[in-house]
Chains A and B, each alone.
Chain A
Amino acid sequence: MDLDYTQQQRAFRVEAREWLEANVPAQALQSMDTEQGFAAHREWETKLNEGGWAMVSWPVEYGGRGVDLIEWLIFEEEYYRAGAPGRVNQNGIFLLGPTLMEFGSDEQKARFLPPMAAGIDVWAQGWSEPNAGSDMAAIRTTAFRDGDHYVVNGQKTWCSRAVWADWIFCIFRTDPDSERHRGLSFMLVPLDAEGVQVRAIEQLDGETGFAEVFFDNVRVPVDQLLGEEGGGWKVAMSTAGFERGLMLRSPARYQATARKLVALLRDNPEAAQRDPTLGDRVIRGWMQAEAYALQTYRTASRIIGGGSIGAESSLNKIFWSEMDLAMHETAMALLGPRAELLPTARAAGDVGDWLDGFQFALAGPIYAGTNEIQRNIAAERLLGLPRG
Chain B
Amino acid sequence: MDFHFNEEQLMFRDSVRALLERDCTAAVLRELWAGESGRSDGLWRGLAELGLTGLLLAEEHGGLGMAEVDLVLALEESGRACLPEPLVETVLAAAPLLETLAAGGGSAASVAGKWLPRVAAGEARLALEHPANPCVADAHVAELLLLLAGDGSLHAVERAHVELTRQPCNDAARRLFTVDWKPGDDSLLANAAGAMRLLDAAFDRAAFGCAAQQLGIGQKLIDLAVDYAGQREQFGRAIGSFQAVKHHLATAQVAVEFARPVVYRAACSLATGHADAGLHVSQAKAMADEAALLAARTSLQVHGGIGYTWEVDLHAWMKRAWALEMTWGGSAWHRGRLADAVLADVDNNPREGQLQLQGVN
Contact = CB atoms under 8 A, between A and B. Distances in A.
B287 interface: yes
Interface in A262-313: 262-263, 265-266, 279-280, 282-284, 286-288, 290-295, 297-298, 300-302, 305, 312
B259 interface: yes
Given A287-B283, A297-B357, A375-B247, A259 B268 contact: no
A39 interface: no
A288 B258 contact: yes
A374 B268 CA distance: 31
Interface stretch (B20-28, B79-87, B345-353): B345-353
Interface stretch (B145-153, B155-163, B205-213, B235-243): B235-243
A292 B247 CA distance: 21
Interface in A332-357: none
B347 A4 contact: no
B230 A379 contact: no
The majority secondary structure among interface residues of chain B is: helix
Contacts of A291: 258-259, 261-262, 283, 287
A374 to B, nearest CB: 8
A301 B253 contact: no
Given A290-B262, A297-B261, A259 B346 contact: yes
Contact of A319 (B247, B258, B286, B359): B258
A385 B245 contact: yes
Contacts of A297: 1, 3, 261, 357
A10 to B, nearest CB: 6
Contacts of A375: 243, 246-247, 250-251
A305 B7 CA distance: 13
Contacts of B342: 262, 283, 286
A1 B339 contact: no
A79 B69 CA distance: 31
Contacts of B254: 315, 318-319, 378
A284 B262 CA distance: 13
Contact of A385 (B229, B258, B346, B358): B229
A382 B268 CA distance: 27
Interface in B320-361: 332, 335, 338-339, 342-343, 346-347, 350-351, 353, 355-360
Contacts of B14: none
A256 to B, nearest CB: 10
Nearest to B240: A385
Contact of B241 (A315, A318, A386): A386
Interface in A346-388: 372, 374-376, 378-380, 382-388
* Max count, chain B CB within 10 A of own CB: residue among A255, A287, A300: A287
B250 A318 contact: yes
B226 A77 contact: no
A385 B222 CA distance: 11
Nearest to A71: B1
A123 B339 CA distance: 41
A335 B310 CA distance: 48
Nearest to B290: A284
Nearest to B255: A319
B185 interface: no
Nearest to B252: A383
A20 B4 CA distance: 31
A81 B361 CA distance: 12
Contacts of B181: none
Contacts of A28: none
A298 B359 contact: no
B268 A1 contact: yes
A255 B240 CA distance: 36
Given A263-B346, A385-B229, A301 B246 contact: no
* Max count, chain B CB within 10 A of own CB: residue among A266, A279, A290, A315: A290
B268 to A, nearest CB: 5
A264 to B, nearest CB: 10
A70 interface: yes
Given A375-B251, A378-B250, A287 B3 contact: no
29 contacts: A1-B6, A4-B1, A4-B358, A77-B360, A259-B353, A262-B342, A280-B335, A284-B335, A287-B262, A290-B262, A291-B261, A291-B283, A294-B262, A297-B357, A315-B257, A319-B254, A319-B258, A372-B243, A376-B243, A378-B253, A378-B254, A379-B240, A379-B250, A383-B250, A383-B253, A384-B230, A385-B241, A386-B230, A388-B241
Given A376-B250, A378-B254, A387-B241, 14 more contacts: A1-B5, A1-B264, A4-B359, A280-B339, A283-B342, A287-B335, A291-B283, A293-B357, A297-B261, A312-B257, A315-B253, A383-B253, A385-B241, A388-B246
